Structure 1
Amino acid sequence: MEVKINREIRNYTESMFFGLSMRQFIFSVFACVVAVGLYFLLRPYMGTETVSWVCILGAAPFAALGFFKYHGMTAEQFLWAWLKSEFLIPKKLVFRSENLYYELLKGEIEAREKEEWKKHD
């Protein structure tokens, strides 16, 4: 008998329905609801093949959100972090180079430049 254990315990997700975690299952159901809603909404206005492609394209982002992970964050956490960093608390980061050697010898360099100007005059 062999028991599989994840190397990193924080990566463990419990399978609830059809091998999906609860979060993945909820997003999958939501994607199905969106697809069915689009189908009944657009069926009178478009052909069957076009409506089927629109349903797929409309449901795909919601299904993908259930599986999305970026730097250990879920889709909602990532979207909230992005929203905060771009719109709620934006910071303009400006790069200013710093020449430490020049700062240390600034007075000496300026004195030499003044002497050279006096020689040329």
Structure 2
Amino acid sequence: MAYVPVPKDLTKIKTKVMLNLTKRQLISFGSGALLGVPLFFLAKPHMSVSTAALLMVLSMLPFFLLAMYERNGQPLEKILYQLLQSRFIRPKKRPYRTDNFYAAVERQTNLDKEVKAIVQPENHPKKTQPRGKKSH
């Protein structure tokens, strides 16, 4: 009987599209090849073959990293985005603040009392008209 290993965590399984590569890997490798191969052939007449090949490899390296590198289930561009956010965009000091529910209720109660005092002052009694008389 054939034995097939089944991983315990099924979220790490990725659908392979072609040549045992995922769609993301195929797009990244294809983009790298579209940039690197013509660069090699354009640079070869002007420099040595080994230098042109090194230039091609260096130009294709970022695409390879985008295709293959993954940390904690996140691809490289998400990691770089979070790094840029934390280093340059978000504030460096992030003080810890709590929102105490009871303090919020107390603030709301005080505001309600203040509004009630403005709308209906306590030192002025309500003006009522005597019964039976109608105002003209």
Q: TM-score, normalised by structure 1?
A: 0.67
The answer to which of 42-51 and 15-24 deviates more is 42-51
Q: Distance in 1 between matches of 2:54 and 2:14?
A: 32
**Corresponding residue of 1:59:** 60
Structure 1 counterpart of 2:47, one-letter code: M
The DSSP-based 3-state class of the residue aligned with 1:66 is helix
Are the equivalent residues in 1 in contact too, given 2:40–2:56 (CA < 8 A)?
Answer: yes
Q: Distance in 2 between matches of 1:35 and 1:48?
A: 14
**Residue 73 (structure 1) aligned with residue 74 (structure 2):** yes
Q: Distance in 1 between matches of 2:25 and 2:47?
A: 31
Based on CA coordinates, which of the two structures has the bigger radius of gyration? 2
Q: Distance in 2 between matches of 1:90 and 1:43?
A: 48
**Corresponding residue of 2:50:** 49
Alignment gaps of 5+ in structure 2? 95-136
Structure 2 counterpart of 1:53, one-letter code: L
Q: C-alpha deviations, 1:5-57, integer Å up to 9, x for none?
A: 32111101011010001111111111111212322442342122210121112
Q: Count residues in correspondence.
A: 94
Alignment gaps of 5+ in structure 1? 94-121
Q: Distance in 2 between matches of 1:89 and 1:20?
A: 36
Structure 1 counterpart of 2:51, one-letter code: T
Q: Distance in 2 between matches of 1:28 and 1:90?
A: 36
Q: TM-score, normalised by structure 2?
A: 0.60
% identity of equivalent residues: 27
Structure 2 counterpart of 1:69, one-letter code: E
Q: Tell me which of the two structures has the higher relative contact order, counting C-alpha pairs closer than 8 angstroms and 6 or more residues apart.
A: 1
Q: CA RMSD in A?
A: 2.0
